[in-house]
Structure 1
Amino acid sequence: MNSLVLVGISLFLFAGGYHFYGRYLEKIWDVSKERKTPAFEKEDGVDYIPAKNWIILFGHHFSSIAGAGPILGPVITCILWGWLPAALWIIFGSIFFGGVHDFSSLILSLRYGGNSVGEVAETIIGKRSRILFSLFLILSLILVVAVFAAVTANTLVAEPQIIIPTFGLIFVAFIFGFLVYRLKFNYIFATAGALILIFFLFILGNRFPISFGEGDAVKLWILILLLYSFVASVVPVNLLLQPRDYLSAFILFIGLIFGYLGLFTSRPAVNAPSLISFSAGKNGTLWPMMFVMIACGAISGFHSLVSSGTTSKQIASEKDAKKIAYGGMLTEGVLAILALLCVGAGLRWNNSIPSISYPLLMEKGNWIGTFATGYSQVTSKLMKPEVGKMIAIVMINAFVLTTLDTATRITRYISSELFGDAFKIKIFKNRYFSTFFVIVMAAYLAFGNWQKIWPVFGASNQLVAAIALFVAGFFLLNKGRGAFTALLPSLFMFLTSTAALFYQSLTFFKEKNYLLFIVSILLIILAIFFIFEGVKRFRKK
């Protein structure tokens, strides 16, 4: 099959979903531009600051939610189960699951003063649920900060040419934020100037790669990245985090545009099988494991934390929620389809040319290199393969770094809400201390054996999505309108995440990995407890 057939079908369905289903969601959530947002009601010059316009906030939101998931998930699942089930889940999952999840989390947070979905859970379901959920979120987010710091550090050591553009972008973003928000400079001219500087940073990075060797260099970069995350978490959001993510979004969209232009010019046939098998051996069965692995490409619990964490504190109008949250998720679906076609059509399924053989490249376990090679093949009629590879790697690194700094700030928010507000530990209300707490815990994992607990993150992340949808569904149930839009996806994600955790727990027990076995069982108990608490609360009402 020609890859353009899948491109055409997916883009048509994404556009239809945005126009029709997105409009329906606005209706049942009673979205109104007249309702004042927390960015104005609680404006404090640090966290609650209205974005200059929705485009800048979209850049922050999209860069933060994307992470590595929409690329990593399709690259791995395509070779295990085939491109067809992956494509179907990406398309329909984004429209009816992920988009609803992100949009609902944002609106829910706006209705509760910009608080996180964990805080909102207490009002809707109960205090015990809120405490357990918030603790679970904090532990998950600390793991995300640790892992993304380690992954980014390894990428910087492996690809020294991206160091100058990666860190140069931070300074460009700070200048952009200062010009636009403090000096009231025209944001269009500021954007143009910033993009020109970023272009020259890429040239400098290619000509002057910075290398500190390996081994200790990774630890040094982890330390630098965590220090940067500390700064990004405490300074006013519109001076660094928001503009850096906004400018990063341009890098991501440039990569996205070149990728699809490459598909239109090269028109490659899909080489990978449409369906390989329902079972992928030790990797598990198509359900539930594929639905967990694709994650951000269709639905991800982390998105609810971004929507209710940083985005809800900056959005200027409820009317922008559909464009930012629902539109952001569908855009991520567009990216996931591109990643799927880069490996499924850009690479060979056979081993006739080893350097572009999908199975051989994945045997090395280097999914970044596999995607970059596929991207370079798809865009080969537009640019040299080495340039295509660099763009692909910079795209991934930009995703990971934006998720790292946003995750740090969100963990500070939730730590402050739980320990500062609920447990009355006043020192956690200090943003410097709460951020320091997050960084120290993340550093402990990043410099230690984070790999030991990372395997359960995929299922636990989808459990967060199920709980966020559950909270949104109960809110709508109380209002008497459209609760099925959240409760049905919530039920499916509960079943999927608990089934994945159960499957993994059996595997961990057989391997005598008792730590992960216990963690998996505890997460299953958490899921059951949350459903029980929600149903009990609803019956009381």
Structure 2
Amino acid sequence: MNSLLLAAIGIAMLLAGYFLYSRYLGSRVYRLNARLRTPAHEFQDGVDFVPTNKYVLWGHHFTSVAGAAPIVGPAVAVIWGWLPAFLWVTLGTVFFAGMHDLGALWASIRNRGQSIGTLSGRYIGARGRNLFLVVIFLLLLMVNTAFAVVIGGLLVNTPTAVIPVWGAILVALLIGQAIYRWKLNLVAVSVIGVVALYSLIILGDNAPVVLPETVMGLSAEAFWVLVLFLYAGVASMLPVWMLLQPRDYINGLQLFIGLGILYVSVLIASPEIVAPAMNSNVPEGTPSLVPLLFVTIACGAISGFHGIVSSGTSAKQLDKETDARFVGYFGAVGEGLLALGSIIAATAGYRTLADWEAVYSAFNQGGVAAFVEGGGAIVNAGLGIPASLSATILATMAVLFAATTMDTGVRLQRYVVQEAVGLAGKRIGTVLATVIVLAFGLGLSFSISTDGAGGMRIWPLFGTTNQILAGLTLSIVAVMLMRKRRSPLPALVPLVFVFSMSVAAAIVQVGQFYSDGDWLLLGLDVVILVAALWVIVEAVGSMARARREPADEEDPVDAEPAVER
């Protein structure tokens, strides 16, 4: 099949989801109303609660939820063939991810900007909330530690990306000042920021930064892991307008330019997809497509991490409730476009089927390396951009997204620590909570050896944990809709599918970990599985009570006609 046709079909499906299905969700299911006073205005503090232009907020939200996962997952999952990955990414984005992310935003906005963990206490119960927080903490620990390893490896393997990656921080700081302090025109600031970022990419391509084999007694990869955690800790304590928002915003623009370069290259070169639609010749040891496909591709189809971001940071910055459709649903569409690009790069970026099979010689092969290599080849063939510069652009794009996710992940994990301490009737400061988060992250990273790669130790649990959390988030949205006497089906259908697939995958992994004698992963998998099943039982009970009990009083704004601007 020609990659151009696949790209056209996929893009059309994703855009139709935004222009049609998200409008239905916004007006009929969630009843978004621009007259509602959002938490960003009600609790404005200049640090976490900051009313934000919807385009800037979309950039923060999108790049925070995207990270490396929508690149890695699809580029691994094509080992089963490109068709299952394509269908899950497109249909999952339209009917699952978009409504999940929008629903989590809506749920938080209607509850004073509270996180999804706190909402579980109100709508499911105290026991469900405590178990919910355990799952969230473990998921964030996986994200932060694993992404640090991914970024460190890319900075070592693609030294041309070092200057643009770290230079982007300075660009973001200046953009934050220009928007909020100097009140400059957003369009002009955006253009200057993008030019500066791509100038850094060209500079980096001509001036690669190669670290010595050991730095301060650590390997180059381990040194980058340490620096990344220290940076993320400092960044997570700064006001969101100073670094987090502008960094994510400029990265969002950079991603769409990078995707534009990739898709235009597909349009010009029109490479054939060399991978099979359904791969019947999978390498030995490859697990079955069902249920593993639906946890291998998490971000890019539906992801529980998105619910944490939606309710943890984005809901605190939403200027109007109606902006939630653009920020939440279109944020999921942006990630779907990235996942679609990853599928095309990993299947059409090779000359022959034999070349592709050489890369996908075992399960969990491919990933970011296949995206950068295959995408670079397509860009080189389509636009004639030198292979080295093409690889630098794509590697920088991958690193910047992983880094912004790590920034947000550390901030969110700090929120979880503060929330858990608050449940015990105590208070803990921002600095101390951040130190605790960094201690857990660095402790796991260096728990096995000095290479800093310990975070990958529990990464095999990410897919199932992430999708289980998505199901739990959908259960809260469903309970809220039932209590308001609105149709819960848009939440219940994805809830049943995603939760059943992720629990089935977790059970498969339990057997695998047991046969491998991997007692750490086995124990963690069992804890997550038991916690998730317990929460879902509590949620089912809450749904039954919601049907029997009187309906919740509607918010006053819901008594008025819904308004969208």
Q: Is the 8 A contact 2:201 2:392 kept in 1?
A: no
Equivalent AA in structure 1 for residue 481 of structure 2 = L
2:32 paired with 1:57:
no
C-alpha change, 1:264 and 1:333, in structure 2 (3 Å) is same
What residue in structure 1 maps to residue 359 of structure 2? 361
Higher mean C-alpha deviation, range 370-379 or range 300-309: 370-379
Amino-acid identity (%)? 37
What residue in structure 1 maps to residue 427 of structure 2? 426
Equivalent AA in structure 2 for residue 305 of structure 1 = I
In the TM superposition, what is the alpha-carbon distance from 1:282 to its structure 2 partner? 2.8
What residue in structure 2 maps to residue 19 of structure 1? 19
What residue in structure 1 maps to residue 552 of structure 2? none
User: Structure 1 CA distance, aligned partners of 2:397 and 2:279?
Assistant: 29
What residue in structure 1 maps to residue 492 of structure 2? 487
**What does the per-residue CA deviation read over 1:86-117, in whole Å, with 9 as the maximum and x for residues that have no partner?**
11111111011111111100110111111110
In the TM superposition, what is the alpha-carbon distance from 1:279 to its structure 2 partner? 7.8
Equivalent AA in structure 2 for residue 535 of structure 1 = V
Equivalent AA in structure 2 for residue 214 of structure 1 = E
| Aligned match for 1:270, one of 270, 273, 280 | 273
Q: Is the 8 A contact 1:157 1:213 kept in 2?
A: no
Secondary structure, in 3 states, of the residue corresponding to 1:524?
A: helix
2:85 paired with 1:86:
yes
What residue in structure 1 maps to residue 70 of structure 2? 70
C-alpha change, 1:459 and 1:279, in structure 2 (3 Å) is farther
User: Structure 1 CA distance, aligned partners of 2:520 and 2:187?
Assistant: 52
2:327 paired with 1:324:
yes
| Aligned match for 2:517, one of 507, 512, 515 | 512
Equivalent AA in structure 2 for residue 65 of structure 1 = V
In the TM superposition, what is the alpha-carbon distance from 1:539 to its structure 2 partner? 3.4
2:435 paired with 1:436:
yes
What residue in structure 1 maps to residue 113 of structure 2? 114
What residue in structure 2 maps to residue 34 of structure 1? 35
Equivalent AA in structure 2 for residue 260 of structure 1 = Y
C-alpha change, 1:280 and 1:128, in structure 2 (3 Å) is farther
Secondary structure, in 3 states, of the residue corresponding to 2:112?
A: coil
What residue in structure 2 maps to residue 186 of structure 1? 185
2:123 paired with 1:124:
yes
In the TM superposition, what is the alpha-carbon distance from 1:349 to its structure 2 partner? 4.3
User: Structure 2 CA distance, aligned partners of 1:62 and 1:396?
Assistant: 13
User: Structure 1 CA distance, aligned partners of 2:13 and 2:225?
Assistant: 41
| Aligned match for 2:240, one of 213, 237, 240 | 237
User: Structure 2 CA distance, aligned partners of 1:3 and 1:199?
Assistant: 27
User: Structure 2 CA distance, aligned partners of 1:213 and 1:358?
Assistant: 33
In the TM superposition, what is the alpha-carbon distance from 1:73 to its structure 2 partner? 1.4
Equivalent AA in structure 1 for residue 38 of structure 2 = T
Superposed CA RMSD? 1.6
User: Structure 1 CA distance, aligned partners of 2:112 and 2:285?
Assistant: 45
User: Structure 2 CA distance, aligned partners of 1:21 and 1:326?
Assistant: 10
Q: Is the 8 A contact 1:280 1:286 kept in 2?
A: no
Secondary structure, in 3 states, of the residue corresponding to 1:32?
A: coil
User: Structure 1 CA distance, aligned partners of 2:272 and 2:206?
Assistant: 36
Q: Is the 8 A contact 1:129 1:533 kept in 2?
A: yes
Equivalent AA in structure 1 for residue 340 of structure 2 = I
2:468 paired with 1:463:
yes
Q: Is the 8 A contact 2:482 2:543 kept in 1?
A: no
User: Structure 2 CA distance, aligned partners of 1:84 and 1:466?
Assistant: 24
C-alpha change, 1:281 and 1:104, in structure 2 (3 Å) is farther
Q: Is the 8 A contact 1:75 1:371 kept in 2?
A: yes
Q: Is the 8 A contact 2:135 2:465 kept in 1?
A: no
Equivalent AA in structure 1 for residue 269 of structure 2 = S
User: Structure 2 CA distance, aligned partners of 1:23 and 1:368?
Assistant: 34
Higher mean C-alpha deviation, range 214-223 or range 131-140: 214-223
- Unpaired runs of 5+ in structure 2? 448-453, 550-565
User: Structure 2 CA distance, aligned partners of 1:371 and 1:182?
Assistant: 39
User: Structure 2 CA distance, aligned partners of 1:326 and 1:104?
Assistant: 9
User: Structure 2 CA distance, aligned partners of 1:341 and 1:199?
Assistant: 24
| Aligned match for 1:406, one of 391, 404, 408 | 408
C-alpha change, 1:425 and 1:225, in structure 2 (3 Å) is same
User: Structure 2 CA distance, aligned partners of 1:188 and 1:507?
Assistant: 52
What residue in structure 1 maps to residue 527 of structure 2? 522
**What does the per-residue CA deviation read over 1:360-399, in whole Å, with 9 as the maximum and x for residues that have no partner?**
2344945322211211222222022222211111111111
**What does the per-residue CA deviation read over 1:425-458, in whole Å, with 9 as the maximum and x for residues that have no partner?**
212xx11111111111111112223333221111
C-alpha change, 1:277 and 1:362, in structure 2 (3 Å) is closer
User: Structure 2 CA distance, aligned partners of 1:278 and 1:536?
Assistant: 45
Q: Is the 8 A contact 2:75 2:368 kept in 1?
A: no
What residue in structure 2 maps to residue 354 of structure 1? none
What residue in structure 2 maps to residue 389 of structure 1? 391
User: Structure 2 CA distance, aligned partners of 1:153 and 1:386?
Assistant: 19
Q: Is the 8 A contact 2:131 2:532 kept in 1?
A: no
C-alpha change, 1:270 and 1:218, in structure 2 (3 Å) is closer
Equivalent AA in structure 2 for residue 68 of structure 1 = A
In the TM superposition, what is the alpha-carbon distance from 1:283 to its structure 2 partner? 3.1
User: Structure 2 CA distance, aligned partners of 1:155 and 1:84?
Assistant: 28
Higher mean C-alpha deviation, range 200-209 or range 55-64: 200-209
Aligned length in residues: 531
Equivalent AA in structure 1 for residue 416 of structure 2 = I
In the TM superposition, what is the alpha-carbon distance from 1:306 to its structure 2 partner? 0.9
User: Structure 1 CA distance, aligned partners of 2:142 and 2:85?
Assistant: 26
Higher mean C-alpha deviation, range 85-94 or range 507-516: 507-516
What residue in structure 2 maps to residue 293 of structure 1? 296
What residue in structure 1 maps to residue 375 of structure 2? 375
**What does the per-residue CA deviation read over 1:400-446, in whole Å, with 9 as the maximum and x for residues that have no partner?**
111110111111122222222x112212xx11111111111111112
Q: Is the 8 A contact 1:97 1:298 kept in 2?
A: yes
Q: Is the 8 A contact 1:126 1:533 kept in 2?
A: yes
In the TM superposition, what is the alpha-carbon distance from 1:281 to its structure 2 partner? 5.0
In the TM superposition, what is the alpha-carbon distance from 1:328 to its structure 2 partner? 1.0
Equivalent AA in structure 2 for residue 387 of structure 1 = L
User: Structure 2 CA distance, aligned partners of 1:74 and 1:398?
Assistant: 18
In the TM superposition, what is the alpha-carbon distance from 1:129 to its structure 2 partner? 0.7
In the TM superposition, what is the alpha-carbon distance from 1:25 to its structure 2 partner? 0.7
Q: Is the 8 A contact 1:229 1:404 kept in 2?
A: yes
Equivalent AA in structure 2 for residue 360 of structure 1 = A
Equivalent AA in structure 2 for residue 395 of structure 1 = M
- Unpaired runs of 5+ in structure 1? 352-356
Equivalent AA in structure 1 for residue 127 of structure 2 = R
